[in-house]
Amino acid sequence: SLTTAMAASARLLFRGAGLKAYTANVNSGAQSSFGTTLLRLSPNCSSQTKTQIKHASHFTYHPDPVPTMYGPTTKMNLFQSVTSALDNTLASDPTAVIFGEDVAFGGVFRCTVGLRDKYGKDRVFNTPLCEQGIVGFGIGAAAAGATAIAEIQFADYIYPAFDQIVNEAAKYRYRSGNLFDCGNLTIRAPWGCVGHGSLYHSQSPEAFFAHCPGIKIVIPRGPVQCKGLLLSCIEDHNPCIFFEPKILYRAAVEQVPTEAYTIPLSQAEVLQEGSDVTLVAWGTQIHVLREVVSMAQEKLGVSCELIDLQTILPWDTETVCKSVAKTGRLLISHEAPVTGGFAAEISSTVQEECFLNLEAPITRVCGYDTPFPHIFEPFYIPDKWKCFEAVKRLISY
């Protein structure tokens, strides 16, 4: 219809403009000033501008220790660790192909830079601007025996491919009685808030897919975990969705092994042991809660145990429930809206498994039930102060 065509044209123009802005940002390595520039258009918003700058990064990145079990390491940020994982895969697996919008020149966030020149245009190539087609092609390629790695340019634009992922990829093996499958499909997508993304570049859609058996969902917290978990997804015999926290692409820097290595899926990691409160998160929010752990210890004398869930589906219930049985209190935090967010699933499971251990109601500190705002992002995100106040309430209950 005419309305559909107009909407598609507007979407293409909007995304093209956004793509140029993001590409310029990434190539320069500079923090975007897009949101600040918009705020400066108003003569009455100087205080808001300061708030926007203050919250441009609402966390301090805490790098993981240098891994010693995987061989030599080199300094990488998160997007470079993605590139390294894809490079290892293309080098070792002749059936591997990488495709998506603009991946041939390196992608908006530079995650595939140099791979087309190294491995050829038949293995690293652009697709039309059609997410449904990207995933549909990936399903077919994987079913035919290829290792298919699809990129959705932003997680916010994964929804047109929802039918292909949920009704086709996730059910392919089941409906054929295991005669056929598309388990060699991995779908990558930049995910989460970035400081200036607003409605269409800041969403965290993991809960939409967590309701669907047959796929795995993984979200890393930094470069070391990113490479190991991505390679595990690529090697896994089930279709996987790998969400990459876009705000960490350049902010997160660690010593990452140059050779291929894997980190097991569906295993949460206890990053900080504690005795009073269990904190659970994934992706960017891990770094927010790391600061909360320190604040709680210094200001309240409260010992927090911090768990990185890492795999959203199937998630590690054993590690979380074991921790809650010890501490008696649980706080879960994520950027996505609170209603129907994955924190609700964790809360329900823990209540069923650990009811007699609980000393206080399970608490969720999440995004609000609104579209992701632009200038009001500082009020929307579940920052360390909101989480710290929640810890105080848990302890004093």
Question: What is the enclosing helix (H) or strand (E) of 244?
Answer: strand 240-245
Chain mean position to CA 156: 12
Question: What is the enclosing helix (H) or strand (E) of 216?
Answer: strand 216-218
For residue 109, give the nearest of 219, 28, 44 by alpha carbon: 28
Say if residues 363 and 330 touch (Cβ distance below 8 Å): yes
Residue 26, token pair as written in the block:
């990434």
Catalytic residue among 196, 201, 287, 334: 201
Q: Where are the alpha helices (DSSP H) in 109-202?
A: 115-119, 131-143, 162-163, 172-175
Residue 394 to residue 325: CA distance in whole angstroms: 15
- Three-class SS of 56-87: CCCCCCCCCCCCCCCCCEEEEEHHHHHHHHHH
Residue 246 to residue 26: CA distance in whole angstroms: 11
The amino acid sitting at 45 is C
* Catalytic annotation present for 58: no
Question: What is the enclosing helix (H) or strand (E) of 392?
Answer: helix 384-396
Q: How many other C-beta atoms lie within 10 A of the C-beta of residue 348?
A: 11
For residue 383, give the nearest of 55, 36, 39, 35 by alpha carbon: 55
Residue 270, token pair as written in the block:
């206890």
87 DSSP β-pair partners: none
* Catalytic annotation present for 131: yes
Residue 119, token pair as written in the block:
């491995």
Say if residues 169 and 139 touch (Cβ distance below 8 Å): yes
The amino acid sitting at 3 is T
- Please give the full DSSP string across 302-344, using - where no structure is assigned: --EEEEE--EEET--HHHHHHHHHHHS-EEEEEEEESTT-HHH
Catalytic residue among 101, 131, 291, 305: 131
**Is the preceding omega at residue 190 within 30 degrees of 0, hence cis?**
no
Annotated catalytic residues are 131, 201
